[in-house]
């Protein structure tokens, strides 16, 4: 094959952005780039920018939602940087910067108390909610940013309440420590999702470069803002609310743009309910659009996964009821309004998905008892609850296999999950055995 006067000996490309060809010319091999010369010059600048701020191999090395997420994440980081400047100025004013009567010792003590309470808050939050940050990364990511804005608002107001200044800044310090844990952990979870070539370190490093560039831009703008807002409470609050609205909007758009292909409880519930309704399997994009991104409390009966055996059954009779209609390596039970799942050590990912499907169905039945009168009429009685459990096994026997094939065909990753399992694993025996 000849092109441009020479035979094409080979072609090569760098990712999906650049392509080159090797031509035979006068007995020598000449390497030229495909595309017009003007495009080459313009693309050189873009190429340098990409190599500095985007992961190697972009866009093939990242998830499809990467660019949209990073755009909104950059916008929220910029607005947060400006809000942080206003909060920092207020905090410095509160500890006595510019006040001749303030002492270094008092300011240092206030700062140390704020940092100390923040450290304790960080430890306690990681202990209580650390396992939730993987399975509900979107919710906790948005929660962290809302809490961060609340903390900065408290720091801005603190100088106007001198008698409570230390208490306010310490509380804000606790909030910011929680933000640090939740924000950092959920960012790591999102990086795992975005990394399509096991390039989490590269994506994380380039994300840091992007954030540094944004903070630098925010610093330059802050140098202009500081002289304007000094001793002007109305302008300070007005700008803070403006930046906060922009920050929260950008964060909402950022988490909404993320399309995860792995199941957590919310996404599995959305896909399962749609399937049971009309046999239609939602794609990852459709399910992620319906997934709630705000923390919800008490809307459905809670589900506890990987619990102890005594959380499911407390007698031989209950164990026999739990094993009735059940040939799976897990047990389900309803206790104190919660759906509890006890997992066996040999359970596979497929078994875990099926168990959560049953738990989700039971949770919906408990939350909406009027939708199934024959089953839910004796719901407060033990036999009625076990009847629901037995029906859930029959429902899964009839629907789970085609459901699982459908979700895999729709693009869901069923080799791993983000379901929030605890670590208890139980081997049970029937009375006869």
Which tens digit of pLDDT belongs to each residue from 3-39?
Answer: 555 688 888 877 666 788 888 877 788 888 776 544 5
Peptide bond before residue 157 is cis, with ω within 30 degrees of 0: no
Assess whether 241 and 160 both reside in one domain.
yes
Point out the domain boundary residue: 225, 257, 289: 257
Closest by CA to 272, choosing from 361, 365, 393, is 361
Tell me how far the alpha carbon of residue 92 is from its chain's centroid: 33
pLDDT at residue 139, as a whole number: 94
pLDDT average per 10 residues of sequence, the chain (433 residues): 66 74 80 62 71 88 93 94 87 60 66 86 91 91 94 89 87 93 92 92 93 92 87 88 95 96 95 95 96 83 93 89 90 92 94 96 83 45 84 94 96 94 87 49
Assess whether 216 and 318 both reside in one domain.
no
Assess whether 280 and 370 both reside in one domain.
yes
Residue 85 lies in a domain: yes
Assess whether 144 and 233 both reside in one domain.
yes
What residue numbers bound the domain in which 21 lies? 2-53
Residue 423 lies in a domain: no
Which tens digit of pLDDT belongs to each residue from 332-385?
Answer: 999 988 999 999 999 999 999 999 999 999 999 988 765 444 444 443 467 888
Assess whether 78 and 47 both reside in one domain.
no
Q: Token pair for residue 332?
A: 């389900």
Residue 243 lies in a domain: yes
Assess whether 278 and 389 both reside in one domain.
yes
């Amino acid at each position: 094959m000849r092109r441009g006067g020479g035979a094409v000996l080979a072609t090569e490309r760098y990712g999906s952005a650049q392509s080159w060809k090797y031509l035979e010319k006068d007995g020598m091999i000449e390497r030229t780039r495909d595309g017009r010369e003007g495009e080459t010059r313009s693309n050189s600048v873009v190429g340098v920018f990409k190599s500095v701020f985007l992961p190697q191999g972009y866009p093939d090395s990242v998830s499809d939602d990467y660019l949209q997420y990073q755009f909104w994440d950059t916008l929220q980081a910029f607005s947060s940087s400006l809000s942080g400047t206003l909060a920092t100025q207020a905090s410095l004013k509160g500890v006595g910067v510019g006040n001749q009567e303030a002492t270094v010792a008092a300011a240092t003590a206030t700062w140390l108390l704020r940092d100390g309470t923040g450290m304790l808050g960080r430890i306690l939050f990681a202990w209580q909610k650390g396992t939730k940050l993987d399975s509900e990364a979107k919710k906790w990511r948005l929660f962290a940013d809302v809490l961060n804005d609340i903390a900065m608002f408290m720091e801005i107001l603190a100088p106007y309440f001198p008698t409570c200044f230390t208490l306010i800044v310490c509380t804000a310090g606790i909030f910011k420590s929680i933000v640090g844990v939740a924000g950092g952990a959920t960012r790591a979870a999102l990086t795992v999702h975005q990394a399509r070539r096991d390039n989490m370190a590269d994506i994380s490093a380039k994300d840091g470069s992007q954030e540094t560039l944004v903070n630098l831009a925010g610093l330059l703008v802050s140098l202009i803002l500081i002289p304007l807002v000094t001793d002007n409470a109305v302008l300070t609050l007005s700008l803070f609310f403006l930046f906060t609205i922009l920050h929260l909007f950008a964060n909402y758009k950022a988490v909404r743009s993320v399309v995860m292909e792995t199941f957590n409880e919310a996404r599995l519930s959305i896909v399962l309910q749609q399937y049971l309704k009309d046999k239609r399997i939602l794609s990852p994009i459709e399910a992620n659009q319906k997934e709630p991104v705000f923390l919800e409390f008490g809307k459905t009966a809670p589900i506890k996964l990987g619990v102890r055996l005594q959380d499911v059954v407390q007698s031989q009779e209950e164990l026999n009821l739990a094993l009735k209609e059940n040939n799976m390596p897990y047990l389900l039970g309803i206790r104190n309004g919660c759906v509890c799942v006890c997992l066996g050590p040999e359970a596979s990912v497929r078994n875990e998905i099926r168990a959560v499907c049953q738990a989700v169905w039971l949770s919906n039945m408990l939350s909406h008892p009027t939708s199934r009168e024959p089953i839910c009429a004796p719901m407060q009685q033990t036999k009625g609850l076990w009847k629901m459990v037995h029906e859930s096994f029959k429902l899964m026997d009839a629907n789970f296999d085609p459901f699982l094939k459908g979700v895999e065909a729709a693009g869901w990753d069923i080799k791993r999950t983000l379901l929030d399992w605890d670590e208890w694993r139980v081997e049970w025996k029937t009375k006869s055995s």
